[in-house]
Each structure stands twice: as structure tokens, then as C-alpha cells.
Amino acid sequence: MARPRHTLLTRDRIVEVAGKLVDAEGLDAVSVRRLATELGVAGPSLYNHFATKGEILDAVADAVVGQVDVSFFDNRGWDEALRLWAHSYHAVLSAHPNIVPVLSHGPGRRPAALAMADTVYGGLIAAGWPPARATHIGALMRYLVTGAALGSFALGFDEDPELYAGRYPHLRDAHLLAEHRRSVDEGAFALGLETVITGLLAMKNGVLR
């Protein structure tokens, strides 16, 4: 049987290529014309699968969220499940930071994102959290994870030591932060997560209100 003369175009293939563009060059790199060139097809053929660039980016965002492991809520205590899920979520977004601005707006109508939210919320409800508080926890975790992925704290300081000398004495070592980006940024996320979980445990046990 003869092979088709043209590349078979599918939603998954479009999302795959668009995702690689986002990872390599950012959100602005994605356009119908650029994708058509990368895929070796005519531009209008993409509209058989996606009506707009926004729909393509939504699909890329959902493919990224689909990599997050939410299985912990099936077999772990709520606090350990929350911790492991947050670390998985953080690791996935850290690997795809350019798509985070799309994710930061919430799940919208994206299936994987809605499934993740449903699993986390359901796990918290099953653990005995009141619905309103479970909603607060879910929102808090999204703020923590997406906020950590939106930018590097360590890279936010200039590497010129003269900038801080004299004028900002408490920042005299700030120029060294970039050299320790991973330990600073990962350490900050881990500290924030543990602080949140410790506080939630105290609240759940009636120590805090």
C-alpha cells in the first residue's frame, strides 16, 4: 500500500510542535503561519483542528498539566498527597515555564486541568475539609506553584556587587544569588510548601483557627 504523500495532521501533532515552540521561544513564537511551516502543511489546514491561536495554547497548557501526577490522593493521607502533588506540579511547570502565564489564569475548560482540580478538591473533601476551606487550599496551592514557576527570585538581582555596596548593606551578597539559583529557588519553594502544610495540619487539628 502506498504511503500518503502528505504528513498526516492531527491535533496531537499540532500540540506537540506548538509545545516545542513555546518551550524554545515563548508564547509569541506560536502562530498559524509558523506552525504550518514547522509541520509542512498549508496554514488553513490547521483550522480543521483549532479555530484560534488561543485554542492551540490552551491545548498546549493542558498537555503540560496532563503530566502532573495526581495519583497520590488515591492512597496517601491528604497532607502527604498535597505535598507530593505540589512537588510534581512544580517540577512539570519548571520544565515548561513559558506556558505558565496561560496556566496562571486557571483551568477554564481544559480537561486535564479540570480533572486535576477535581481530584485535589475531592481528596481534600474526602479528608474532612469543609468545601469552602478546600477551595481556599486549592487556590493557595495554585498561587504557590504557579508563582514559583513564573520567575526566578535568584535571577531577579543584578550580579554587579557595586550596585549594593554602601547603598544597600543588607544586600551585600545579593550579587551571588544567581550562582546559586537552583538551591535558592527550590529551597524557597520547599520552605513555602512545608510552611503551608504545617499550618494546615495545625488548623485541621484545631490548633489554629
| 56, 11 Cβ separation under 8 angstroms | no
Cell of 42: 498549508
DSSP 130-167: -HHHHHHHHHHHHHHHHHHHH--SGGGS-S-GGGTTTT
Please identify every stretch of the chain with a pLDDT value under 50, giving residue numbers as ranges: 1-5
The CB density around residue 208, as the number of other CB atoms within 10 Å, is 11
Q: Per residue in 111-133, pLDDT tens?
A: 999 999 999 999 999 999 999 99
Give CA–CA dist 195/124, Å, rounded.
Answer: 18
Q: Per residue in 13-48, pLDDT tens?
A: 999 999 999 999 999 999 999 999 999 988 788 998
Q: What are phi and psi of 126, to 5 degrees?
A: -65, -30
Question: Which percentage of the chain shows pLDDT scores above 90?
Answer: 86
